[in-house]
Amino acid sequence: MDLKNVLFDKSIHFLALMLSGMILLPAIVESILIALLVIILVIKMLVTKNIPPFDKRLFFFCGFYLILLASALLSNNLTEGTSKAKTMVSLFIFPLVFLFFLRNNKEIIKIKEKVLWVNYASCVIFSFISGIAFFLYKNPRYPKKDANFFRNAVDSIQIIGDHPIYISLLISISIIIGFYFLNKHYRTNIKYSTMLVFCQLLQLSILFLLMSKAIIFAMLIALVVLFILQRKWKLIVILFSISSVLLLVVPDKNNRFIELFSYETYSQLDTYNSTSIRFNIFKCNLKILRERPIFGYGLGDVNDKLGSCLSKVFTNERSNYNSHNQYLNIILSTGIFGLIYFLFFLFLYFKVAFSHQDNLLNAILIIFCVSFLFENVLSRQTGVVAFSFFINYLYFCSKNFLKNEIN
């Protein structure tokens, strides 16, 4: 490989390392780094005059975003549609860049560990910062340190604060990565493994204080699958035991899982109960879906249509919620064919993960797929960048690892 290609590839690796620490990056910095990825890709092709041959996988991976873009452009609310398409553009950029730069790059295996470590260290640092924020944060709206206190505290951290659901999502991925490192090193490096255990406990503590039910549930499912794939049956028992104890000892004011088992949650609307809100949103989702299940409403019109339904349910209360279900959001935006494409899109990633025995990719995919049942993860920059970056990066790591093993 000549010097020019080496420099371009090193640049991409550096940007990948930077992006892997996304939990510590302001949104504007994320956007700049993603733009730099595209610029370097274009410059490389112009300077080296080496345009990679067309790969049918590129059309497939980028095809889902093209469906969303078409849906946005056909929306009546074009401003909203193009805004959402702009937010979701990472679904197009990361597979494009990684396919061109990483598909035949043997260095990707070496840098993979660094990318995972930067992500893990960043989440540990953020968890430490969150712990400090919990002590310093004051808000007269939350005189008691309940779950809402901690969730608002983490959202109020200057520069790097974000919605607690997306912070929880990134921390849960980091915890999975922590188990990946523990599995590799617990027999060979006791001190290193002990440090990892403390870091895992710190992140788990923050995760349970934030009490994002959907993310905690998704992470537990992912860990169970991970331990099954690793045939660590005792760890599954330990996991369920620890989780049960934690949920029992957490004070009621901090335990948002209690909402799930209350009859009132489902019988009447309680705007202070997130499960009750989601249940009513779900009913509106199904109501408007019955009107246009084949072609949907368009990416820019879904929230308007949903808001119209919710305004009748919430009366004078806030009713500008999204669908809180990624699968329903896709079918409402693009119709049944868009949803089928998206499910097949996810299936391909799972197929590669299972065929290459990539347990880490499997576990992270499961976190996202379960989270999609309760959140519009791909409608916010943090969620869509996390999904597209990790899934595509680990996918190409798996493909290259298999090639290197054969060679």
Q: Is the predicted pLDDT of residue 50 greater than 80, yes or no?
A: no
What value does the CA radius of gyration of the chain take, rounded to a whole number of Å? 22
Contact 163, 152 (CB under 8 A): no
Q: Give the per-residue pLDDT at 406.
A: 32
Cβ atoms of 66 and 75 closer than 8 Å:
no
pLDDT of residue 8: 76
Question: What's the confidence (pLDDT) of residue 297?
Answer: 94
Determine the pLDDT at residue 364.
96
Other CB atoms within 10 A of residue 334 CB:
26
Torsion on CA atoms 343, 348, 349, 355, rounded to nearest 10: 140
Cβ count near 283 (within 10 Å):
12
The 10 Å Cβ neighbour count of residue 360 is: 23
136-145 pLDDT, tens digit per residue, is 999 888 888 8
Q: What pLDDT is recorded for position 99?
A: 78
* Concatenated DSSP letters of 336-404: HHHHHHHHHHHHHHHHHHHHTT-HHHHHHHHHHHHHTTT--GGGSHHHHHHHHHHHHHHHHHHHHHHHH
The stretch 278-296 carries a mean pLDDT of: 92
8 Å CB contact between 341 and 71 = no
pLDDT at site 51: 65
Is residue 340's pLDDT more than 90?
A: yes
Segment 119-125 shows an average pLDDT of 97
- What pLDDT score was predicted for residue 108? 62
Q: What is the reported pLDDT for 270?
A: 84
What's the pLDDT tens digit per position in 11-22?
888 888 999 999
Model confidence at 187: pLDDT above 80: no
Mean pLDDT of the chain: 87
**Range with the largest mean pLDDT of 1-10, 219-228, 309-318:** 219-228
Rounded (10°) angle between helices 27-48 and 3-20:
170
Greatest pairwise CA separation for the chain in angstroms? 67
Confidence band for 370, pLDDT divided at 50, 70 and 90: very high
Q: Is there a contact between 168 and 359 (Cβ–Cβ < 8 Å)?
A: no
* Average pLDDT for 153-164: 92
Note the pLDDT of residue 55.
62
Helices (H), 137-232: 147-155, 164-185, 190-210, 213-229
Q: Which two tokens stand for residue 131?
A: 């712990």
Q: Higher-confidence residue: 400 or 360?
A: 360
pLDDT tens string 106-119: 666 668 889 999 99
- Looking at residue 145, its pLDDT comes to 85
| pLDDT bucket at 404, cuts 50 / 70 / 90 | very low
Residues comprising the chain, all counted: 407
Nearest-angstrom CA–CA distance, 88 and 95: 13
Share of the chain above pLDDT 70, in %: 91
- What is the value of pTM for the model shown? 0.93
Q: Above 70 in pLDDT, residue 405?
A: no
Q: Out of 44-53, 291-300, 316-325, give the one with best mean pLDDT.
A: 291-300
pLDDT of 87 over the 90 cut: yes
What does the pLDDT look like over 61-79, one tens digit per residue?
788 999 999 999 999 999 9
Spatial CA neighbour of 22 closest among 400, 279, 344, 383: 383
- Residue pLDDT, tens place only, 244-266: 777 777 777 777 888 888 888 88
